[in-house]
Structure 1
Amino acid sequence: MRLPTALTTKLIALGVSFLLVAMVSIAITLWATWKLDGGAAAVNEAGRMRMQTWQLASAAQLQTTVAGRAALVQRFDDSLRLLRAGDPARPLFVPWDDEVEASFAQVERRWAQQRAQWLAESPPPPERAVALAEEFVTAIDRFVLSIERQLARFTAILNLFQFVMMALAIAGAVVILYTGYLYVIHPLASLAQGLQRVQAGDFSVRVDVDSSDEFGQVAAGFNRMTETLQSLYGELEAKVQAKTRDIEAQRARLETLYEVSALLAEADTIEELARGFAHKVRELLRADAAAVRWSDEANQRYLMLASDCLPQELAEQERSLLAGVCACGSLQPDARTRVIPILAHEAAPMRLCARAGYESVVSVPIRLQHRLLGECDLFFRSQVQLSTEETALLDALASHLASALEGLRADALEREAAVSEERALLARELHDSIAQSLAFLKIQVQLLRGAVQKGQTAQVQRILDELDAGVRESIGDVRELLVHFRTRTNTDDIERALQETLRKFEHQAGIATRFAVHGQGLPLPPDVQVQVLHVVQEALSNVRKHARASHVTLEVDKGARWQLRVRDDGAGFDPQQSRGTSHVGLQIMRERAARIGAEVQVVTAPGQGTTVTLTLPPHPVASATAPTALAIDQEASA
């Protein structure tokens, strides 16, 4: 197998090759330059030796001392040693070859011949000094000329390698461009053309895979992608049609669910609810008949609430089924929606359904949370199978029916409780007012009969006056009850109802009133408003009956805890000694306050008027039950 050559490996190999060639060329160029620099420095040093030679000649002509000429000779010796040894730090070195070596050896020999003459006590005569200097300078010139010829060769080498580097740069650029086109641009162009054809909808396009590098892998992946897309596109229409059918089925199920929910929300009676549900479910499943059965608390008997398209004879015979007598009405607490095959005519337990021509029945339990309420039966004249979606839909519809039936039952219980509460309220009002007044009148009538029989004229007149006062008080109680039951509260604010109550009190009792409201607070719930209003009415009733007041004030403090005060300037009473009708009125007020978690406080004294204060809790809520005023009165009297 041929190992795949990655594009990165190709590029690295190409780059390393060019780098090695460039480094070799640069090294040779640096070496030639270094040689040229060292040779140039040697030429300069040789030129300085020429200058030093003429300085010796001048010193000889000027009869310079031996010490002065020795210093010049020492400098000359240092220059020769420097040229021979070189100085890499400058750099300075002679580019030695045979010619340079021979010319430098001649310079050294001539210097060895002349050195002693320059250091003698008597220097050479001027003509001799000039001749010696010219002879030595000529040797140095030959040495410099040999160095320059060597430097010329190095310069030629440097120029050659510079030209080679320029050629390498051009060749490298061409190779890089060609390599980039071969390994990058051409594969990318092929992929781009393939993508354009894919965008145009041609999924049959394939890209030639002529390498095993990264672009070859990408091209292979592109080919696999287009092959997959071509396969998916071929199956897409079938999948879209199947998905469309699924969506349509889901839409139909949702539409049915909405229709059944709307039907359940609009139904007012259990019969109407069950009949509409049976009809809708039968149409949904295309069943031949449907029945809705309701179970008792012990799940021992099932009553048929409604049926749709069920034969009349079968409906009459199965109107009430004992559990276990038939496959219908035999649900267990953990039962689920199931399809039950109907057996032959002679076989139990579904011979009635078999006689009617049914072959299958679908049993759907109607369950509210974990409590089994009944079942819905769907009858089919053929074999039937339910899908998972249909089973889930039937369970959801049955759950909606259970909730709707439970809601109707709860509404009925609430209405019954409201009627009972209203009757209890009316009974308490009649007991606490008119019944006591009638009992008082009955006693007065008995006393009147006795006085008439005894001929006690004065006693008869007094009893008649009391009877007249009692009748008037009873009439006032009746009117007051009518005011109580006709007064309505406002769900946003109780002020209007309180003002209306106070205005009616002022009209009936002829007592001046004042109404004051302070602060801001959240509105009271309607049921709490009713109890508050009745407490205020009872307080005003006590003022009318017992206080003999000339002015009454009703103050309302709104806030986190509402507070209402009924204050009068009447006669007042002693709370410790009052056990009469006023005591019953206080018990009534306390009872109503207890229903909303409130407190009633009475501040009074003989001759100083009475103040009744109702203080509500931060979040008052009306209680469902409360003790009656009669029971409280009996307990207080015990």
Structure 2
Amino acid sequence: MWRTWLRRAFPRTLHAQLMLSLVVLGALVASSSALIVLQHARERRIVELDERANRIADLLGQSLAQPLWNIDRDAIDRQLNTLRPNPEVVRLTVKATHYGVLADVRNASAPGPNEEVVRVQPIEFTPPGNAPRERIGEVRVVFTRAVEESGFSAARAVVLGALALALLVVYIVTFLLIRHLVREPIRRLEEMVDRIAGGDLESRCVIESSAELGRLAARVNLMAGRLHDSTASLKESERKYRSIVENALEGIFVLDRDGVLHEANPAMARLFGFPDVAALNAALAAHGRSMVTAAVAPFSASQVEQLFALVGLNGEIAGMEIPLTRADGTTVWCLLNARGTYCESSSLPALEGQLTDISSRKQAMEDLTRHRDQLEQEVRERMRTERALRDSREQLRQLSAHQESIREEERRQIAMTIHDELGQLLTAIKINVSLLKMRLSQGGDGSPKCHDIGDLVERTIDIVRNVASHLRPAALNFGLISALEWLVQDFAKHNGIRCTFRLEGAEPLLSDDRATAVFRIVQEALTNVSRHARASRVDVILHTVDRFELEVRDNGVGFDAALATRGGSYGVQGMKERARMIGAQFHIESAAGAGSQVRLMFGEAVASLRCDESAGEPGK
């Protein structure tokens, strides 16, 4: 508000501004100097007044000693009345030590507290002889500064009036000089510049002097000449630019923030399905030239928002692929390059851009991308198949090696059993038979040796039966249930772990291959429990009510079932391979401290195995 008022009140012409500045500067300098001098004189007079008050107080203190000693009121009043005509004196008071106020002379009304100058001087009397000085009273002197202040006010008014008159004279003289030396040349220079601004580029200023205004006029003439040349060059450039825009193969446009199309070249009109720019303008004119609301608008409202957001973020748009709508409703893909600008007809931000039709290239790129994706998918499928084949081959190789090592271990165990146990027993039988022959030939009793030989034969038969049972349990010849019952009893007997078998449903009828595979899976699961689970109880449950489902679970410590399932355990791999060969489903579940569980099912059944987590790799 105050700024607007200041701009209106302040003179707008250079002449008036110079004069006002001169007056203000002169008034400030002169008034400041005068006030400083007057203030200095005032302070000096105040100091003199203070010194005079001190001297009068000292003189009265000395002259009133004798009258005050004698209590001579008339002498005291005469001395005080001699000072009463002085205009600075306000009050003179003499006070005796034992009698109080003896004289009080007042000359004027009491001044303000800031105008008083007060001095109190003690009065002392010196008695005759060698008696010490004695204080007998005091004199109080009160002066006023009002007289001095009034004198200074009058002097200040006179000085300021003289300054104002001097400033008025200086103002008039300076006004006439500036009007003649500055204002008239500037006015003529303004007229010449107005002619140049109106299009008369041949006008030139008359150079009247070599001073600053003359040099300014010379520079204005030089500017006019260069402006003439620049205008001609600009017209030629505009002609070339218009020719390039009109004949360009890319669509060129100017679009403002409200979606209004301000400029377009013929290529852009053809790009949107119009024969020329006039047809495009006519189609947009029916809708206020808005590219957002027009039925034929190629840019949608969301696209306009997106384009201006990108320009506001990056300052430009480079190589943006955008779908646009033609007049017939079809979609055309364009490559957009644009930058931010402002419309000349309004202050709205705008886009100045270029559109290139890339529909055919876009289609070719999409076809190429689709073929590439298909090829990459086929390559990935083939690589995945090859990788799976390599993994399967490696697992098969490892499983074969593991099975071979198991067979070698079984052969070694059989050989050791035959060599260490069966061989020793047969040797003992042979020795006992020789001893028996010797006794019989000597006529001795051979009954004890026959008994020993019978025991050795029984033990040999047990060992042979045990080896044969591990190679193929004889119980399998009597069905899967008998084989599982024998396996559970044998496991509990040799491992000291409570193991139970429970049948839910009827006894299944399985082929010899399936029954053997199921038996070996249960055997491998129990082997894992004995080696790794640290369990105290194992349950083998066979469910045959609606499907074949075999479950082996323990209360051991559990293990990482995912690692075992991915092939970290040859025992688990063997069980999975046996289940695959008989068409069964196999699954493993385990958790730390929750035991392990194996489940084998035919048809829709799912098998799961729980083994010891801390056991590492089950089946090894």
TM range (shorter): under 0.3
Between Structure 1 and Structure 2, the one with more helix by share is 1
Between Structure 1 and Structure 2, the one with more strand by share is 2
Q: Which has the higher contact order (CA 8 A, sep 6+)?
A: 1
TM-score normalized with structure 2 length: 0.24
TM-score normalized with structure 1 length: 0.23
